[in-house]
Structure 1
Amino acid sequence: MDLVDPLAEPCAVCGDKSTGTHYGTVSCNGCKGFFRRTILRNQRFTCRFNKQCVIDKNFRCACRFCRFQKCLSAGMKREAIQFERDSIGSPKKRRENSPPLSQSGNVISPPDVCTDVIDNLMEMEARVNQEMSTRYRNSVITSNGAAANASGGAFQPTGAADPGPSSAFTQPVRPCTVEDLNEMSRTTLLLMVEWAKNLAPFPDLSMEDKIILLKNYAPQHLILMPAFRSPDTTRVCLFNNTYMTRDQGNAEFNGFAAFKTSNITPRVLDEIVWPMRQLQMREQEFVCLKALAFLHPEAKGLSPGSQLLIRDARNKVLKALYSYILVQNPEDAPTRYGNILLLAPALKALTQLLIENMTLTKFFGLAEVDSLLSEFILDDLNDQNSAPVSIKQHLASPSFVTSGMINSSSGPNSIINPGSNLDPLIALTGNGNIPLLQLGIPRSSASQDVHVNVDTNEPVMTIL
């Protein structure tokens, strides 16, 4: 009788490279960890798209309801989780007693913990970009990780070597205008707040420390997001299918926008996009880079207690990133890890340039600076009279329930906040093209939600 090597078979859930038989079926570490977390934490998920979401290696993080159902249909067994917990002991105790070793003999972070961290970050990124693609409906994400527009064109983001669910958007079709730039900046920053609400230890910080972290990271976010999605070093691509070229001049922009972008765009392309392209940065590495930029314990003004919490969360991301690279690129893991971290100084330098440009523009009255951008990027937290919605209002407002959101504790090794939800409603207000995040609006009392009880595998209908 011929025996089939499980490692030769792809993951039965997502089709990625398997690492053996886990809980009764051949699967990868990602799906193994996802199934295990779901059972141990008794998580309940929902699906917003008729329970028919594509689950493959590019889209496995997009819908946790459909991913869990596919785990069950592929043959994963709940009993195997219970047996493992009862007979072997808690995962935390096992990890403490038997730390895994790298080939060089150095202790590395436990694989399951690292997979949890990156999977959580990927899920957060997928939800943010789902909201962004909903706002700009011309962006049609296809099942192979590419995106096609009406003319059939497509482009891969910087991480083309391993495209993810949140990285595929349509080919940019025209140069951006001042209105495009302002609209995208506002939308990006507002969704950034919702993303931050899901990242531990952010929910546990004081309001003052939350604002410090957001303001410290906001200009970096405005640079990182389009940079990763730019396919080459000729233009910076925005989510709304527009772009900025390195030589884009005053024909497209008026005074303020040209002043703000003319000396930044070439440097973003050369110092951020080009290194990302050379590395063929993966989505998993990008979400870690984002989290590391946000979790900055040395941000000026943070309280000592918050610094400790942020440093601990940052260390978890650092370990997860290195462990991921060690698996994907074992031959040159230290070099690749270092090159990714070396993007941070260039990012900070460009951030300072952006702040200086906006400061000079506002000081000399060259143009009116958007109140929300001013509040996020400039040091005028007390000057909020003209702001439609302030940072404090966003932070104090509840978020919506989203598909696949965790309703139970995420455990000590998680960096995703179990008590927050990411499903913002983007509405058009004012002149019709300035998006504001309308938070704190309750859903209709007649609206319904369907989720699955992981203990009984029965659908449960609830009124929201």
Structure 2
Amino acid sequence: MSVLSPSDMESSPCLLPGPWGAGGEDVEPREEKVCAVCGDRATGYHFHVMTCEGCKGFFRRSINKGIRFTCPFTRSCPVTKAKRRQCQACRLQKCLDVGMRKDMIMSEEALRQRRALRGQRRLAREQPGGLTAEQQELIGILIVAHQRTFDSSFSQFTHYWPAVRLYVPGPRPQSPPQPGIPATWTPSLQPDCLDEDVLPDVFSMLPHFADLSTFMIQQVINFAKEIPAFRSLPIDDQISLLKGATLEICQIQFNTVFNTETNAWECGQHCYTIQDGALGEGGGETVAPGSRGQPRPHPGSPITAMLPPAGFQQIYLEPLLKFHISLKKLQLHEAEYVLLQAMLLFSPDHASIAQRDFIDQFQEKVALTLKSYIDHRHPMPEGRFLYAKLLLLLTELQTLKVENTRQILHIQDLSSMTPLLSEIIS
């Protein structure tokens, strides 16, 4: 199935009318093409017009960012190769005047798909025999980084916030029973009124999620610092990449401990289900850490009604569970998990990136390595569409990240409990 769309025509000359034939061959190979905007050497049809790379990039950035330029003169500034940077307003207007089309600008998802397709083609041309030594070295670096920084047993997970403990006594008559009238009992919050063995402690999940978020974010930061290519970047680029990818990488790491039979995340002695984060009746209940396997209160019981909810809405939790089920069923190897994390980390699309070309090239190298690994380590037929499925899941993960951020901002107490989480989503 082709992943190209009509918007891909911005850099696919053979798909548009012009001096190219139907087969993509240049009819006049020796004739130099001229940019319709500034007169520089053109590289092909971009957004429906023959332009240079500079005007192509300028037009895309201007439209995507929605910038409103103002001409300081009479809105008739000359736009040439030498003077095209002097007035952005006149340059953008000329782009529109010569016919460049806003509707042909590709979305971020389409750009990601095009990069992946380009990587597949390059892989087929350059590496038909399997993983290269460079790819094997890259996988080795990422696996070591992951193993050194990800605590799959969650043995280092520390609670920073005091838990809210709920004590529930056994049935106890309120008053001496009268003939024909059944005895009644009520739950109590007094810690010295019962034996703690009566029922497992119940904790509010909001402070717990704050602790867990801090723990996971710290692991992602340490993972990134273990990668030489990441350490070589300017500190501002490192911060931008972490802000853009940390929440997504956390979900990839969480998937390694997800159990599709129970739909639960088994984090060492801690066990979480999607209900632990839900907003509403029964949404906040959880058994105390260390008591996994003990019975939970029934959602309709008086105990549940007193439990403080965590506050996440179903619009986020249900797609999140579906994502983890879909990803886990692909039965990825450790190498594929770490390559996915690296693809997310080295994303050149984040704002305020200085070393954009280097990051783009490194992400493409990671994508090629992932495709090559899948082709040679997953037998057919299961591996036939595995790479394509992963790309679709990464796009879905981006949507989840946006909704996750919105939910965290909605639950203001959660981000205020952990400054690190607040910094990541800022």
Q: TM-score, normalised by structure 1?
A: 0.46
